[in-house]
Amino acid sequence: MYIDENTIKELIQERDNLINEIKEYESNNTDYNKVNSRYKMMNEELISLTKGINSLLLNLQFSYSRYNTHGLNYPEDYIVFDTETTGLDPNNNEIIEYSFLKYKDNKLVDKLSSLVKPSNPIPEFITNITHISNEMVKDALPIDEHLESIIEFINGSIIIGHNILFDIKFLESTIKRSPLELDRVNIQYIDTVSLARKCIPDAPNHKLETLKNYLNIDNVSHRSESDCEVTQIVYMKCVEKLIEQEVE
């Protein structure tokens, strides 16, 4: 999401002006019974304004926007991203595996992948889906110890993923919860779900595992690095199809 820094600066100035007004009011009015209504109103406004500023500052810490692909503007340099998590709620569940595969000229040049030790045990049904067990992550580092390297790896990049906002929101929530002082994150994204719906309309559905089978891709499912590889193949197939349609 895009956050206007000038808006935040204006709100901070408004808050500071209100603080000064409250201080002046307190110094000029010692009988709070007479001024209670006005005094209470100013303090409530200050609390509301401060909460709004804090929320915007959190959003400023992690900003993301859809990459503009109009006119076949599809990048050849990008990072493919996928996570495995303990559930579907980014505010209450945790990342247990992540992968970032970096491509230059559509060729893999680097990657950052790891298992992550969650603060709570992995539910059995998640292990059944991902085949990631509590035993596998018991010696892994907690997510806070991964964040600096993740941010350094992805910052300023175009991120591609299948239903990518799911993964982005998990990363965003994780960064916002972290007690660490981290660099600001600014990324753009492309979602291969919408691309596949447009370019592979005959598939039974557009889940990644379905597309993997439909395109005869021989990868395991529900492991982050393998899913990134499948996502990149889907992306390339879709871009090729779009270019063919343009030529025709």
The string of DSSP letters for the chain reads ----HHHHHHHHHHHHHHHHHHHHHHHH---HHHHHHHHHHHHHHHHHHHHHHHHHHHHHHEEEEE---TTT---SSEEEEEEEESSS-TTT--EEEEEEEEEETTEEEEEEEEE---SSPPPHHHHHHH---HHHHTTSPPGGGTHHHHHHHHTT-EEEETTHHHHHHHHHHHHHH--S----EEEEEEEHHHHHHHH-TTSS---HHHHHHHTT----SS-HHHHHHHHHHHHHHHHHHHHHHHH-
Q: Give the pLDDT band (50/70/90) at residue 36.
A: low
CA–CA distance, 78 with 68 (Å, rounded to integer)? 14
184 CA to centre of own chain:
13
Higher pLDDT, 39 or 111: 111
Asked if residues 187 and 154 have their Cβ atoms less than 8 Å apart, the reply is yes
Residue 74: per-residue pLDDT: 94
Question: Which of 116-120, 175-179, 237-241 is least confident?
Answer: 175-179
CA–CA distance, 89 with 107 (Å, rounded to integer)? 33
Q: Full-prediction pTM beyond 0.75?
A: yes
Share of the chain above pLDDT 90, in %: 64
The token pair at 16 is: 């500071």
Residue 58: per-residue pLDDT: 57
CA–CA distance, 238 with 248 (Å, rounded to integer)? 15
Q: Order the strands of the 78-85 sheet from edge to edge.
A: 62-66, 185-191, 158-161, 78-85, 95-104, 107-115
Higher pLDDT, 191 or 245: 191
Q: Kindly state the average pLDDT of the residues 159-168.
A: 97
Residue 1 has pLDDT above 50, yes or no: no
* 91 φ, ψ (degrees, to nearest 5): -85, -20
Residue 208 has pLDDT above 90, yes or no: yes
End-to-end CA distance of the chain: 36
Asked if residues 137 and 88 have their Cβ atoms less than 8 Å apart, the reply is no
Digit-coded pLDDT (tens) for 71-109: 788 999 999 999 999 999 999 999 999 999 999 999 999
Residue 161 has pLDDT above 60, yes or no: yes
Distances in whole angstroms, Cα of residue 218 to Cα of each of 40, 84, 123, 130, 213: 66, 19, 28, 17, 8
Q: Kindly state the average pLDDT of the residues 100-121.
A: 98
Indicate the pairing of strand 78-85 with strand 158-161: parallel
Q: Kindly state the average pLDDT of the residues 172-183.
A: 88
Share of the chain above pLDDT 70, in %: 87
Q: Give the pLDDT band (50/70/90) at residue 29.
A: low
